Structure formats: C-alpha cells, structure tokens
Amino acid sequence: MAFTPQKLGLDGITDEFGKYRPNVDCYHSGVDFSSSMTPKPIFAGIWGRVISPLGGSCSTVTIRPMHTPAYYVQYLHLSARNVSIGQNVTPCTVIGLTGDVGCGAVGIHLHLHVVNTGGAPQYECWSRNFVNPTQWDTGNPVAGNWFYSSNYVNNGVSVQDRRTFVFLRDSIGSPFSVSASETLSLGQDFVRNDYVYEGQVTLCDSRGIHVEAKLTHCTVTGTVTPPCNRPVRIADAHFIMNSPFSGRFELADGSGITISRTAAFSFEDHPINIDGDADVVAMSKGDIFGNEFSNEAIRVLTMSTISHSGAEDLEPDATL
C-alpha cells in the first residue's frame, strides 16, 4: 500500500509528484498533502526509525523504513516535531504537525518525498533519486510468522517453550493467532501443552499494533496429564517492532516476550537477566509439579545485529 492522505491522517493531495515547476525550472520531488490550511497531526504511515536530519531549514523529519532500509522518507515544513533521532515509529505514530516552515513553503501542508539511495536521479535538477510516494510500497514488515523459543531448568524441572505468532496484516480487523507448545520434564515424567489463540488486531498507536485473542484449542499429552489451565483471553496485548526482524509482544501488565521474525537468519544464544525491565517472558507462578518458576538460567534466542549500507546523515534540506 502506498502513501495516501488517509494513511497520513491528512485531507487530500494538492500537488503531485514530478510536476514541472517553472519558477525553479525543476520537477516536484514529492507530493504535497493538504491539512485544510490548519496544523494537523501527521502519522508516520510506516514502521521505521527516525534518523538525521531532524529539523533544519525545512523543518524535516527523516525516517528509514524497516522493510526497505535502502530508502528513506522525509516529511517537510512541520510546525512541530514530536519524535527524536533513534526513535522507532509505527504507522500510527504522530511525528508532528503540518506547517508552512522553511524551504519556500506556501500555505500549511505536508511535503513528503521518498528517496532511493541507490541509482541516479530521474532529472538532472534533482540532487537525489526521488520516487513517487503515491506509488511506493509502504510495506508491511509485521505480516508473517514470528518465533519465540525458551529453554530453562528450575529445581530439576526442564521447560521447553516454543511459540509462533502469526500476523496476516497490521491493519485493524486483521486476523491474528498464536500457536504454542510447552513441554515440562522431570525424570521420566513429562507433560506437553499445545494451545492456540485466535483473534484480531484491534488498535494501532505509537506503541504498536494491539491485539485481542481468545483460547480456541488446548490439548495435554504425556505421562502426567493435568487439565489445560491457560488463560482464556489475551486482552490489550500489543506488538512493538525493535528492528526489521525482531519485536516484543506485551500484555497490559508489562509482561511479555521478545520474538524474532524468522529462523532463516543467524541467531545468537544470549543469557539474560530477567530482573527489572528485561525483555523476556514473565513466567507463570507455579507449574504442574508444584514448584514456582524462579526464572533461573533462562536463555532466549535473539536476533543478531543486522547492518545495512547507506549514510545516516543525509542532506539537511530538500529539493522541492
């Protein structure tokens, strides 16, 4: 899906991409979006990270998309900026307000352009390789399968936890599901819980996308077979992307787990301290053998750092 007025929270388009401008003898490098001549909140419209430049003579916000880091998106003429460099944004993060600040802006609006850091500009008068925002795919890096894996031992009880989170889309109303298996072993005795939650995306805000789901399937197998005692509903849980390949799934009480996009990438096994605000699952109190989980020796799979080429410090001003 491309950038649209609705995706940005604005009212319409007042100037198209590539339109010739005789006063500067050049072509419009982006699209102007209307806010009916009134400062209005602007949604980022993409999952990404705020990079430099921020501010400058055009009052710019620059975001590198998570799904295509070879590009960057710039939002110009803002009368107020609500984000900082290094901040992760969701499609529903308000990055600032429309305005008429700098670079020859006439009237309150948003000038938005998308830059491909590879390739030559289409026109000689362009300083960079601009592409049409209303045709450029804003992406959906959330869609797909996400994986969590945890192994630990407490008081002789071995626990293996595997979960798959499935997002079909990141839009409100889109289906969402979690399938999981948990195996607890003590000597020759073991029990395995298999369960499925199904629901949908209910909200998008600056924290991420929120989901609500209920337990639809639960089975128990093994030498010990107590009743399945999973919660009946996931309520007000939200998903936050940390990078193109990792994220965090949280409940309203702050508990949650760090999950990764795909096992096809290289992983590192990190011991982590779960005290305080560490990004690991908050285990339930009490298991089927009557022991309390002390969260000792928990190890989770986390994504190795993925790097990409491309300068972070870009030109402070834009060719409009």
- Give the confidence band of 86 by pLDDT, cuts at 50, 70, 90: very high
Q: For residue 90, give the 3-state DSSP assignment.
A: coil
Q: What is the pLDDT of residue 301?
A: 24
- Give the confidence band of 318 by pLDDT, cuts at 50, 70, 90: very low
* pLDDT one-digit tens code per residue, 161-182: 999 999 999 999 999 999 999 9
* pLDDT one-digit tens code per residue, 53-70: 999 999 999 999 999 999
Global pTM reads 0.79
Percent of the chain with pLDDT over 90: 65
* pLDDT one-digit tens code per residue, 5-43: 999 999 999 999 999 999 889 999 999 999 999 999 999
Residue 319, domain member (yes or no): no
Clarify whether residues 54 and 89 are in a common domain: yes
Clarify whether residues 159 and 220 are in a common domain: yes
Residue 39, domain member (yes or no): yes
Q: Is the dihedral of CA 187, 189, 191, 192 positive or negative?
A: positive
Residue 292, domain member (yes or no): yes
The whole domain housing 104 covers 5-131
CATH value at residue 126: 2.70.70.10
Nearest to 235 by CA among 247, 249, 248, 251: 251
Q: Which two tokens stand for residue 296?
A: 């000792």
278 or 238: which carries more pLDDT confidence?
238
For the chain, the domain total comes to 2
185 or 320: which carries more pLDDT confidence?
185
Per-residue pLDDT averaged across 100-125, rounded?
Answer: 92
Residue 76, domain member (yes or no): yes
Clarify whether residues 150 and 251 are in a common domain: yes
Q: Classify residue 209 by burial, with Cβ atoms within 10 Å: 0-12, 13-18, 19+.
A: buried
Residue 181, domain member (yes or no): yes
Clarify whether residues 151 and 114 are in a common domain: no
DSSP string, 101-165: -STT--SSEEEEEEEESSS--SSTT-SSEEE-TTTS----TT-EEEEEEEEEEETTEEEEEEEEE
> Angle 320-2-72 (CA atoms, 0-180°, nearest 5)?
50
